[in-house]
Amino acid sequence: MTRYTIRPINTGFLKTYPKRYLYHNYVVQYFDLPSEPIDIPVFCFLLEGGPEGPILVDTGMCDTARANEWHHPGSLQPDGYAITDQLHAIGIKEEDIYAILFTHLHWDHCFHMEKFPRARYITSAREYAYAQNPALIQVRGYEHPCQGDIRPPFTGLTLETPDIGEAETEILPGITAFATPGHTAGHISFNVQAESGTYLLAGDAVLCLDNIRPIPGSYYTVAPPARFLDMPALERTLKKIQAMRQDEDHVLACHEVTLVARAAATPILR
Ligand SMILES: [Zn+2]
Of 141, 161, 149, 166, which Cα lies nearest the Cα of 243?
A: 166
- CA angle at residue 192 from 89 to 220, to 5 degrees? 110
For ligand 1, the distance from its centroid to the CA atom of residue 228, given in whole angstroms, is 9
Domain ranges of the chain: 5-265
Q: What is the pLDDT of residues 188-207, one digit of tens each?
A: 999 999 999 999 999 999 99
pLDDT of amino acid 97: 98
C-alpha distances (whole Å) from 41 to each of 5, 33, 61, 82, 187 are: 21, 17, 10, 13, 19
Residue 69 pLDDT > 90, yes or no? no
Give residue-wise pLDDT tens across range 33-49: 999 999 999 999 999 99
Amino acid 108: pLDDT: 95
Q: Residue 72: pLDDT above 90?
A: no
Strand ranges of the sheet holding 175-179, from the earlier edge strand across to the other edge: 169-172, 175-179, 188-194, 197-203, 251-253
CA of 203 to the centre of ligand 1 (A): 8
How far is ligand 1, taken at its centre, from the CA of residue 106, in Å? 5
What is the C-alpha separation between 243 and 44, in angstroms, rounded? 23
Distant-in-sequence contacts of 257-264, Cβ < 8 A, 24+ apart: 257/38, 257/40, 257/41, 257/208, 258/209, 259/8, 259/10, 259/41, 259/43, 260/10, 260/41, 262/8, 263/7, 263/8, 263/9, 263/10, 263/43
The answer to whether the beta carbons of residues 3 and 24 sit under 8 Å apart is no
Q: What is the pLDDT of residue 71?
A: 87
For residue range 139-162, list pLDDT tens digits in order. 999 999 999 889 999 999 999 999
Rounded Cα distance between 153 and 187, Å, is: 17
User: What is the whole-number distance in angstroms between the Cα of residue 219 and the centre of ligand 1?
Assistant: 27
Going by the DSSP 8-state scheme, the letter that residue 27 receives in this structure is T
How remote is the CA of residue 21 from the centroid of ligand 1, in Å?
Answer: 11
Measured in whole angstroms, the distance separating CA 203 from the mean position of its chain's CA atoms is 3
Q: Rounded distance, CA 258 to CA 256, Å?
A: 6
CATH class of 5-265: alpha beta
**Is the Cβ–Cβ distance between 12 and 81 less than 8 Å?**
yes
Instruction: Give the distance (Å) from ligand 1 centre to CA of residue 1.
Output: 32
CA of 108 to the centre of ligand 1 (A): 7
**169-172 vs 120-122, strand pairing mode:** unpaired
